[in-house]
Amino acid sequence: MVFPAFLNAQENTYKQLDAVKFQELVKSGKGMILDVRTKSEFDNEHIANSQYLNFYALDFKKKLLMLPKDEEIYLYCTTGYRSEKAAKYLAKNGYTKVYNLEHGILEWNLENLPVIEGEPSAKLMADKVSTELFTQTVSSDTLVLIDFYATWCGPCRKMMPLIDSIRTQYHPAMTVFKVNVDVSKKLIKQEKIIGVPLFRIYRSGELLFEKDGILSRKELEAIIDKLLSTKTP
């Protein structure tokens, strides 16, 4: 027995691409390149010929649906999180030629692909961490918790009060050090960071713990307490 309606039903979707395949599409010139980050992020660096549409703008979804459905749309952000949400929304609304840079411009940079660079604001530059400072910091013989974050990242902002509290709670036995991925580009490339929030704990240059995403206080305290208790004499 045949059920045509069921067999022909197909969920609208989009395609996730790595940086190399994404660049191939971009170079083809067939579609529209859409950067869905904030204006300051876009001004800091962006892929050539990108158009800009702020993910956090109140009319973002409305403007998305003004895009032509017969044109290929290439979406990206910093890590791929915001652009994937945009891709899902477009696919849900009948767009069939949607492509997302899965790990965002962080992966694009890891592949040494070209970007248009602007001048970061003074506020952003104040958060810049050099590779030299990072190496010096993690080489400490006390524990060092590194918080890789971005100002636009919701989960990062959610974790900030906890990380600040942990900083106070474990001082001076442990140091907490924050790295803004949007401006510490050389370091992020060196450390091959493609997502935030990301937490690492070092001692004497050795990586002892790594976790991406949200951490609970209980989980983080248990890890820190264990590492403090096992310190090599």
- How far, in Å, CA of 84 to CA of 90, rounded? 10
Which domain range does residue 182 map to? 124-229
* Same domain for 162 and 142: yes
Entry pTM: 0.85
Residue 179 belongs to a domain: yes
Q: What is the pLDDT of residue 29?
A: 87
Candidates 156, 163, 176, 224; catalytic one: 156
Q: What is the pLDDT of residues 72-93, one digit of tens each?
A: 999 999 999 999 999 999 999 9
Rounded to an integer, the average pLDDT of 124-132 is 87
Q: How many domains does the chain have?
A: 2
Q: What is the pLDDT of residues 173-215, one digit of tens each?
A: 999 999 999 999 999 999 999 999 999 999 999 999 999 999 9
* Same domain for 23 and 104: yes
Candidates 145, 153, 166, 188; catalytic one: 153
pLDDT bin (cut points 50, 70, 90) of residue 4 is very low
Q: What is the pLDDT of residues 139-179, one digit of tens each?
A: 999 999 999 999 889 999 999 999 999 999 999 999 999 99
Write the DSSP string, 114-140. --EE----HHHHTT---HHHHHHHHT-
CATH number at residue 28: 3.40.250.10
Q: What is the pLDDT of residue 123?
A: 67
Residue 9 confidence (pLDDT) above 70: no
Nearest to 37 by CA among 153, 121, 126, 120: 153
CATH number at residue 147: 3.40.30.10
State the number of CA atoms in the 13 A half-sphere of 73 facing the CB. 29
Residue 173 belongs to a domain: yes
**Is 153 among the residues known to form the active site?**
yes
* Same domain for 107 and 136: no
* Same domain for 140 and 101: no
Q: What is the pLDDT of residue 2?
A: 40
Q: What is the pLDDT of residue 12?
A: 61
